[in-house]
Amino acid sequence: MSIRERMSGNEAVAYAIKQINPDVMPAFPITPSTEIPQMVSTFIANGEIDTEFIPVESEHSSMSATMGANAAGARALTATSSCGLAYMWELLYVAASDRLPVVLALVNRALTGPININCDHSDSMGARDAGWIQIYAENNQEAYDNFIQTFRIAEHPDVRLPLMACQDGFITSHAVENIELIEDDKVKAFAGEYHPENYLLNPDMPMAVGPYANSPFYMETKMNQRLAMENAKKVILEIADEFEKISGRKYGFFEEYRLEDADYAVVIIGSAAGTTKDAIDELREQGIKAGLLKIRVFRPFPGEEMAKVLSHVKAIAILDRAESFSACGGPIGSELKAALFDFKFSGIAVNYFYGIGGRDYTVAEAKAVYSDLIAYADGSKPVENYKYIGLRK
């Protein structure tokens, strides 16, 4: 029987870590993810878990230590945000190319320039091509549920890739919500133990991790990473099916909300999906067929799957919480538009930027997006390539 509790998103992730009881957690504090290693270290100090906590001098070091522990044969994770992720940048690519199934609890926060500590997705979206699996949460329940599934996905022999479990800084990380926890024994059994086939401390199989790869080998390494990422799609769904059996909660690549008969749809990631759902409910009462596709898995990118479920929609708004300065749109917008093009989508797709640097995104603004879509679809308003929501005049 599930346990009802009230927790912040950070508390929920820390509790999931406690239930999994990984071997090693190096970490360095940075707002708004600091609470996660703080809480885990408290669990360790109280004797509730036997994870080895390693306080380090920087985020670069925390990822280095996490990778080293994992390469040695340990189940390892860390947590960070924003500039902390940027400080790890070099190592993100190394972890992926070395096929180290480490897990990162990423609490999304704007990258500095100018200084900002609030939520957007510029940190994780900036790392979208590093070779990591990326899974996003709308709320605290999803942050907890996603994290329980992370190691099973990353460590699968057909995958063996690092994974970022992302949630929105402050909006979910610090806000307290009602959630349902799973019993400790069920989580422990679900997560299982990590038994790598090859690792540095295995005396029967001497090996190197991360050797130099010259031209005749480097390209094949990248192709193998691509194949692993493709394999991850199947594994993510298999693990989600197993998770549903112990939780009763169903997950996939994305969530469809009132989308089946929708004429107008918003595509979005993270906590702002809840705001959009409220707008949809109000619009439905007015007879407007509004719907939502909330992306949960951004890497591997389920472009074909999203294009299929959006194929009947007249107009789509693709909302990005990060700029890519491509002059064509944001990360989600560019990739989904490409997928829609390949699928020969005949409707209208417009990219929007919202919530950058923590800017509020309201129900009224969400409803205004649907008003735009209606106007684009009936021809009363010229179609724009991309636009900003809530921009000050």
Establish whether domains 3-247 and 254-388 are of one fold: yes
* Mean pLDDT score, 102-113: 97
Q: What pLDDT does 188 receive?
A: 97
Distance CA 393, CA 391 (A): 6
Q: What pLDDT does 211 receive?
A: 87
Task: Report the share of the chain in percent with pLDDT over 90.
Answer: 94
Are 352 and 321 in contact by the 8 Å Cβ rule? The answer is no
Distance CA 272, CA 253 (A): 17
**What is the 3 state secondary structure string of the chain?**
CCEEEEEEHHHHHHHHHHHHCCCEEEECCCCCCCHHHHHHHHHHHCCCCCCEEEECCCHHHHHHHHHHHHHCCCCEEEEECHHHHHHCHHHHHHHHHCCCCCEEEEEECCCCCCCCCCCCCHHHHHCCCCCCEEEECCCHHHHHHHHHHHHHHHCCCCCCCCEEEEEECCCCCCCEEEEEECCHHHHHHHHCCCCCCCCCCCCCCCCCCCCCCCHHHHHHHHHHHHHHHHHHHHHHHHHHHHHHHHHCCCCCCEEEECCCCCCEEEEEECCHHHHHHHHHHHHHHCCCCEEEEEECEEECCCHHHHHHHCCCCCEEEEEECCCCCCCCCCHHHHHHHHHHHHCCCCCEEEEEECCHHHCCCCHHHHHHHHHHHHHHHHCCCCCCCEEECCCCC
* Mean pLDDT score, 243-252: 98
Q: Which phi and psi (to 5°) does residue 41 adopt?
A: -65, -30
Q: Band of the pLDDT at 1, cuts 50, 70, 90? A: low
Domain spans of the chain?
A: 3-247, 254-388
pLDDT in tens, 30-62: 999 999 999 999 999 999 999 999 999 999 999
Class of domain 254-388: alpha beta
pLDDT in tens, 337-359: 999 999 999 999 999 999 999 99
Q: What pLDDT does 393 receive?
A: 81
pLDDT score of 319 more than 80: yes
CB atoms within 10 A of CB 335: 17
| Span 3-247 CATH architecture | 3-Layer(aba) Sandwich (3.40)
Question: Which of residues 173 and 205 earns the better pLDDT score?
Answer: 173
